[in-house]
Chains A and B, each alone.
Chain A
Amino acid sequence: MLTLYQAALRSRLLLGTARFPSPAVLTQAVRAAGCEIVTVALRREAGGERAGQGFWSIIRALGVRVLPNTAGCHSVKEAVTTAQMAREVFGTRWIKLEVIGEDDTLQPDVFGLVEAAGILCRDGFEVFPYTTEDLVVAERLLEAGCRVLMPWGAPIGSGRGLNNLFGLKALRAHFPDVPLIIDAGLGVPSHAAQALELGFDAVLINTAVAQARDPVQMAAAFAQAVEAGCLARLAGPIEPRDLAVPSTPVIGTAFRG
């Protein structure tokens, strides 16, 4: 069981809702993934347009928790205001806090992130900060009041998997009791399985499912990979070795001596 800010969850797969070919495919993918949390956003809408209202009806019908994001925000002020707007519209204290620092990699501005996290935590938000694997930044985010961290695997939408294994393992080892969700950059289910095998608590997937040839099937594949990775972690994986170790007993081998 995964606990995020007092919410007990069975699924360790979170799904983003963007870039799906249609609302129907999104709905089927969420069901196939068996996920209990989906991420959502806020965008400008013209009066009478109502696209956002339709989308919100679809999400509410799914009966899952929503985790609004502050995607696209490049400053502390923008992120804080967007979070406040999201809290009212979506009726949740949860916020996936993104403060983007660099447009090519969508790398978080960790200085702005820590500052915004402090403001929002003091204002009663339950903050899920999109961060890097940097240990010092993680420590500062926890000091600011965050109780969950969302380190990136690789740049958003890149599908590259866990780019910095050493850094991510160090982060996991350093904060054994903090829920850590790999957010961004995963491309295939084996990446998700690897994240869970390494002890990460959950993964957030969007592009890898939404842009797959068959998003519904890919959602199911990620769900199985997450399940497999979680079981493997509990089962205790063996340590890699440099030399072979015979798996078949050598005692009694024929034709020897």
Chain B
Amino acid sequence: MRILVNGDWRETRATELAGVLAELGFGDAVVATAVNGDFVAAAARVRTSLADGDRIEVLAPMQGG
């Protein structure tokens, strides 16, 4: 299935958000996630199923003003 991760199209074999994050190498990184513009809490990633064309945001702490 093809999904959009942080603006880039990717092929994935995972079907849930947690699987996609593992596949992309986020492992235990401190990140926050959203699917199609809606926040998905860390605890909900294992039960968040994805569909072809879904838009995923994976955000990490960064410098800000």
Contact = CB atoms under 8 A, between A and B. Distances in A.
Nearest to A68: B64
Interface in B1-50: 6-7, 21, 24-27, 29-34, 37-39, 41-42
A16 B59 contact: no
Interface string A45-63: 1111111110110010000
B30 to A, nearest CB: 6
Interface stretch (A82-90, A134-142, A243-251): A82-90
B38 to A, nearest CB: 6
Chain A contact residues: helix, strand, loop or mixed: mixed
A51 B7 CA distance: 18
A16 B33 contact: no
B51 interface: no
A16 B62 contact: no
Interface of A: 16-20, 26, 39-53, 55-56, 59, 68-69, 71, 77-78, 81-82, 84-86, 88-90, 156-157, 184, 204, 206-207
Interface of B: 6-7, 21, 24-27, 29-34, 37-39, 41-42, 57-65
